[in-house]
Amino acid sequence: MPADAPLRFVILLGSLRRASFNSAIARALPGLAPPGVTIERLGSIGDFPIYDGDVEAQGLPAAAVAMAKAISGADGVIVVTPEYNYSIPGGLKNAIDWLSRVKPNPFKDKPVALQSASVGMLGGARAQYHLRMSFVMLEACVFNKPEVMVANASQKIDAKTGELADAPTREIIAAQLLAFAAFVAAHKRGALTS
């Protein structure tokens, strides 16, 4: 177990689809985490209304307040998301927009790791780079490498059980979680070099 363990990460899932490939990856994460790291799902982005400044003026939605609290209390956030039309799914961007209105900003200085899965050949890479842009505005500490971009996801997730079956994909995810845990531990010690 790393010296700074236990660490607690939370997952922000970008798909609402029942048989989502990204959801399958999210389910696999606790079993791929290094010793001393626990990983839990945040609430659903489906619980957020569409962002509207007039709605905000009447008070932040309960879903945004609750998710912001859960993010603030976690050591790190793992975003697991599809790519829609070369970018961030609208529902996920909407949730991030609401979360950015909570004070204090739950993402400020928060370690964030990115994972994506898609049926395409680039594995959601473009959504990840757009997410990185939003996280600059939010002053999050986004982890760099190894990257997790699961291409051709339908071939890597068992259609009957919904399990992430592909061994190389499991290995790269485990490697990212291990490196992310070291990144978060260094962040907690104030020892990050970048």
Residues forming contacts to ligand FMN in the complex (CB under 6 A) are 15, 17, 20-23, 82-86, 117-120, 122, 124
Q: Work out how close the CB of 28 gets to ligand FMN at its nearest, in angstroms, rounded to a whole number.
A: 13
3-state secondary structure at position 162: coil
Is residue 150 within 8 A of residue 116, CB to CB? The reply is yes
- Cis (ω within 30 of 0) for the bond into 111? no
Q: Work out how close the CB of 6 gets to ligand FMN at its nearest, in angstroms, rounded to a whole number.
A: 29
**Residue 193 CA: distances (Å) to CA of 38, 183, 189, 190:** 25, 10, 11, 9
Q: Work out how close the CB of 86 gets to ligand FMN at its nearest, in angstroms, rounded to a whole number.
A: 5
Q: Which is nearer to ligand FMN, 84 or 183 (CB)?
A: 84
Q: Which is nearer to ligand FMN, 23 or 176 (CB)?
A: 23
Report the candidate in 132, 153, 172, 194 with the shortest Cα–Cα distance to residue 19: 153
Is residue 29 within 8 A of residue 23, CB to CB? The reply is no
Q: Which is nearer to ligand FMN, 21 or 48 (CB)?
A: 21
Q: Work out how close the CB of 57 gets to ligand FMN at its nearest, in angstroms, rounded to a whole number.
A: 31
- Cis (ω within 30 of 0) for the bond into 168? no
Q: Which is nearer to ligand FMN, 22 or 128 (CB)?
A: 22
Q: Which is nearer to ligand FMN, 20 or 105 (CB)?
A: 20
Nearest residue to the partner ligand FMN, using Cβ: 120
User: Which runs of consecutive H residues, i.e. helices, occur in 58-166?
Assistant: 62-72, 90-99, 125-137
Q: Work out how close the CB of 8 gets to ligand FMN at its nearest, in angstroms, rounded to a whole number.
A: 24
